[in-house]
Amino acid sequence: MCLQFCKIYIIHTFLTTIYLSNVDLFNFRNLIVIDMVHIESKVEINSSPKRVYDILDEPEKFPIWNITVKDVEIIEPKKKGLVKSTVGDFTSTRTETVPNKSISYDIEGGVFKKMGYFLTPKGNQTEATLWAEFDDASKEKMLLKAGEVLLNGLKKYAEYLDGGGSPDNYKKK
């Protein structure tokens, strides 16, 4: 309760200050912050963190295993790409990479604003956590389900490769 009241009070104080100082409000429109919704989905993968990381580290191969990705155009290797997906096109820019542990992205033009993966060793398995941030809370349930579908695709592909399968013969559906 206090958190919401504090946010309203801060915004009210900010806008009052702008009004009283005769400052053009339109020059400050980028300073108002919208709360983001944060979601996480997890899956246990019968594969090493290195294997899972290597899959995530090659975005040009996402169309092979990611059921929502139709094509990836690499703009800057290991950094930025244009993703064409079943839910629309967006630009993905890698913001953080910790080999075999995590990858994070900023997203432009998509439903997500940020997303990433955490990889945690669990014995002979990897716990893969997909996290995402977005600003439309009404889509939370749908996006949680989409995250589960995406992680299950990653799991299926990593385990297929560990079983000796070839990427050329993989069927993502």
The pLDDT tens digits of the residues spanning 17-62 come to 444 444 454 554 455 555 788 889 999 999 999 999 999 999 999 9
pLDDT at 64 over 80: yes
Q: What is the mean pLDDT of the chain?
A: 84
- Indicate the pLDDT class of residue 143, thresholds 50, 70 and 90: confident
Contacts for 120-127 with beta carbons within 8 Å, 24 or more apart? 120/49, 121/48, 121/49, 122/44, 124/46, 124/48, 125/44, 125/45, 125/46, 125/47, 126/44, 126/45, 126/47, 126/48, 126/49, 126/51, 126/52, 126/158, 127/42, 127/43, 127/44, 127/45
- Ordered by where they begin, the domains of the chain are 1-33 (no CATH), 34-169 (3.30.530.20)
More confident residue, 65 or 22: 65
pLDDT at 118 over 70: yes
